[in-house]
Chain A
């Protein structure tokens, strides 16, 4: 069958559902929760229920957003799939067209849920189903360098005892559980790093504070402390053996699957900014009909074309990475390419839109200034742009992390 880069009708219908949610649930409360930082958006409880219904109703409703998983390969020629990864990307793009902060705080759609989906065994999958799981990796002294985390877990009878501090935990206060990454043996480096599901209310788990942020204020970002926190040994996700790179491979696997989703978030917010900017500039006579020769067009019109081309590039790179995951193709490089590109152009687009719209762009009557604040995090979390470039470069150049630091 011929090469085709259009979205199928099924997925387009699905994306449209997500768009409705973004337009009718997120947009009306977008500014409210930007101002009321740390206040729980109660409207989302209703949404979570609706999404559960959608998920049960259709193969993948909007509820499937954030639940991307790697599809197994059968080796033999099989039907090309447009599956859960593409659905997650398209759905998240639409939700973030509505509001990035709110999309991040939809109950039961946490990053921890993605980790569980990627590495949990069957029993764990059952046990943690329906839980809202946050993810805790970053520490005050270990950001991009997640292999050097200091949080420890030691086996004591039927429990692991976890000690350490985690920062930038999205939904850290609101989630039912937190997937905490800790090392079983600091001397073994990344091979000993494992994910543990720590349920809320476990003695020794404490939310220390919530951060005030530049953007995505609707999303709570917590600092948590674990002090002799005992979790059942069966809460260690995946394989407990300290094998070469096994634990860390789990982190990486989670990120291979979620990077395109973060890229999609960036595309969504940039799309919102570009769309609104086009509306506002149209009233000033700037029309983008792709008719003018680029160098004869008004500078503002030409700039809109340029931004749109970059956005389209980010969108297609992201779809490609998700399509590869849906079809069982290794996509670590492509996922990082998509994240790097989408993160940087998404941020650049929202900032340029602020500038193009002048006072309407910078003032709080429009959402443009908010989008420009929200978009910045997408070039940072789940691997900064620079970390993505490192991953891409190492793959291209055949370098280890010791050679290309």
Chain B
């Protein structure tokens, strides 16, 4: 199927969905579809096989910044309501049921991942000029989607959003030729599994203090080092790898899976198992100069990218924490002890109230960081605080979720033990989903 045909088919499904009509979101859906078609026409049939560098347009295509009103407002836009509703449905109908199996198999089932096509995430992430349907960059929308999907399962959400995060980075900072080389692949039928590889194996790992090195070589760089907790280790063909260049400056490199010296291994962890976490070893991997994201100047946007990914983690944590809250409310209300529901007792009820309070705190800090990023305001401080709070509260909510179910929380009959494991990742993970 051609690019335009494929775009049309995905978006027609979104726009025509009975569900969308029922929730009164037909109009925003139609507007998105119309933009998508314009984008595909602009692209024509530029897509070719393989990762050949394309000359393409001489200037990189970027997404616009949405205009904000000078007013505090927590109301999502119609588009955000539509995409959140659709994402929530996928999370509820498909992710939740598949989560345990995916966790055991350390793999996200293809048939579940195809359900995401109704969301058209890739299409909205890629600018019209490159065949997508995107016109504005919205970290807030991205955070809303991440939260909604992680409500179903954080591991599957990470698997789904990992390539979108790479796309967001390419759209924001990639050069024209990097965009032309890779972005059309993401819109193809098979997609392009891709992931950020930022984590390193040493304790106290810090993305601003990297051990992986990129040394200048004749026609580019040589990469050497190890990366850990890399999502999609099973399938990813493209990695965005952090490494320090001369002067200890962190930079990002586009590294293909089949490059010489690259070894990818499955390395399952405590949680997020559906995302096929793995390790990436770089043994003197030669990359072209053109593999440097943005072709230099990464020092300028590296911190911003780390921050955008941290917002992604906060949003994922919020979704899973909301899942915990809803689950413990239902379970504890139905659980009787000493002749009445255990929620008639303050010791239980107050724990649940605290989950709700801290969860809302996480959500608001995350939204503020995302909305500042969206408006082009400085957002490093807000992200730092959001991440700090989310890390602490996510672990607390995870452990209290299990506690509230008692022994039943500890066995795999209920999902709270999985959420416990997933939420423990929030304080340590980097990369993942760049919003």
- Please give the residue numbers on chain A whose beta carbons come within 8 Å of chain B beta carbons, in ascending order: 1-11, 80, 82, 86, 290, 293-296, 305-306, 308-310, 312-314, 316-317, 319-320, 323, 334, 337, 340-341, 386, 389-390, 392-394, 396-399, 403-405
B373-390 contact mask (Cβ, 8 Å, vs A): 1 or 0: 011010011101110110
Q: How far is the CB of B139 from chain A (nearest CB, A)?
A: 10
Enumerate chain A residues within 8 angstroms of B66, measured Cβ to Cβ: 2
Asked if A293 meets B209 with Cβ closer than 8 Å, knowing A6-B372, A313-B364, the reply is yes
Q: Closest residue to B208 on the A side, CB-wise?
A: A293
Measured CA separation A317–B356 after assembly (Å): 11
| Most chain A CB atoms below 10 A, which of B72, B358, B375, B381 | B72
B249 within 8 A of A: no
A9 contacts B70, CB within 8 Å? yes
Interface size for B (C-beta < 8 A) is 58
B368 within 8 A of A: yes
Count of A-B residue pairs with CB < 8 Å: 167
Shortest 4 CB-CB contacts between residues of A and residues of B:
A313-B361, A316-B364, A393-B349, A5-B368
Q: How far is the CB of A43 from chain B (nearest CB, A)?
A: 33
Q: Is the interface of A mostly helix, strand, loop or mixed?
A: helix
B71 contacts A80, CB within 8 Å? yes
The segment from B20-28, B74-82, B263-271 found at the interface with A is: B74-82
| Most chain A CB atoms below 10 A, which of B350, B362, B392 | B350
Taking CB atoms and an 8 Å cut-off, the chain B residues in 126-175 that contact chain A are 138, 140
B361 contacts A396, CB within 8 Å? no
Q: Is the interface of B mostly helix, strand, loop or mixed?
A: helix
Enumerate chain B residues within 8 angstroms of A337, measured Cβ to Cβ: 356-357, 360
Which single member of A4, A296, A392, A403 contacts B344 (CB below 8 Å)?
A403
Which single member of A3, A80, A397 contacts B140 (CB below 8 Å)?
A3
Q: How far is the CB of A199 from chain B (nearest CB, A)?
A: 39
Measured CA separation A82–B358 after assembly (Å): 24
Q: How far is the CB of A390 from chain B (nearest CB, A)?
A: 7
- Please give the residue numbers on chain B whose beta carbons come within 8 Å of chain A beta carbons, in ascending order: 66-77, 80, 138, 140, 204, 206, 208-209, 325, 329, 332-333, 341, 343-346, 349-350, 352-354, 356-358, 360-362, 364-365, 367-368, 370-372, 374-375, 377, 380-382, 384-386, 388-389, 392
Enumerate chain A residues within 8 angstroms of B371, measured Cβ to Cβ: 2-6
Q: Closest residue to A6 on the B side, CB-wise?
A: B72
Measured CA separation A394–B375 after assembly (Å): 38
Which single member of A82, A295, A393 contacts B350 (CB below 8 Å)?
A393
Other than the given A4-B371, A82-B72, A386-B350, 6 more pairs (CB < 8 A) read A5-B74, A80-B73, A309-B386, A316-B361, A323-B72, A397-B332
Enumerate chain B residues within 8 angstroms of A314, measured Cβ to Cβ: 361
Q: How far is the CB of A52 from chain B (nearest CB, A)?
A: 27
Which single member of B329, B384, B389 contacts A290 (CB below 8 Å)?
B384
15 A-B contacts (beta carbon < 8 Å):
A2-B68, A2-B73, A80-B69, A290-B384, A305-B385, A306-B392, A309-B385, A313-B362, A317-B360, A317-B361, A393-B343, A393-B353, A396-B356, A397-B333, A403-B341
Measured CA separation A144–B392 after assembly (Å): 31
Q: How far is the CB of A296 from chain B (nearest CB, A)?
A: 7
A393 contacts B206, CB within 8 Å? no
Asked if A309 meets B138 with Cβ closer than 8 Å, knowing A5-B74, A8-B70, A389-B354, the reply is no
Enumerate chain A residues within 8 angstroms of B362, measured Cβ to Cβ: 313
Q: How far is the CB of B78 from chain A (nearest CB, A)?
A: 11
Enumerate chain B residues within 8 angstroms of A293, measured Cβ to Cβ: 204, 206, 208-209
Asked if A309 meets B206 with Cβ closer than 8 Å, knowing A5-B74, A5-B371, A337-B360, the reply is no
Which single member of A2, A8, A9 contacts B374 (CB below 8 Å)?
A2
Enumerate chain B residues within 8 angstroms of A296, measured Cβ to Cβ: 204, 206
Enumerate chain A residues within 8 angstroms of B353, measured Cβ to Cβ: 340, 389-390, 392-393, 396
A309 contacts B365, CB within 8 Å? yes
Enumerate chain B residues within 8 angstroms of A11, measured Cβ to Cβ: 72
B367 contacts A5, CB within 8 Å? yes
Measured CA separation A191–B362 after assembly (Å): 38
Enumerate chain A residues within 8 angstroms of B75, measured Cβ to Cβ: 1, 3, 80
Measured CA separation A32–B235 after assembly (Å): 70
Which single member of B74, B206, B333, B380 contacts A323 (CB below 8 Å)?
B74
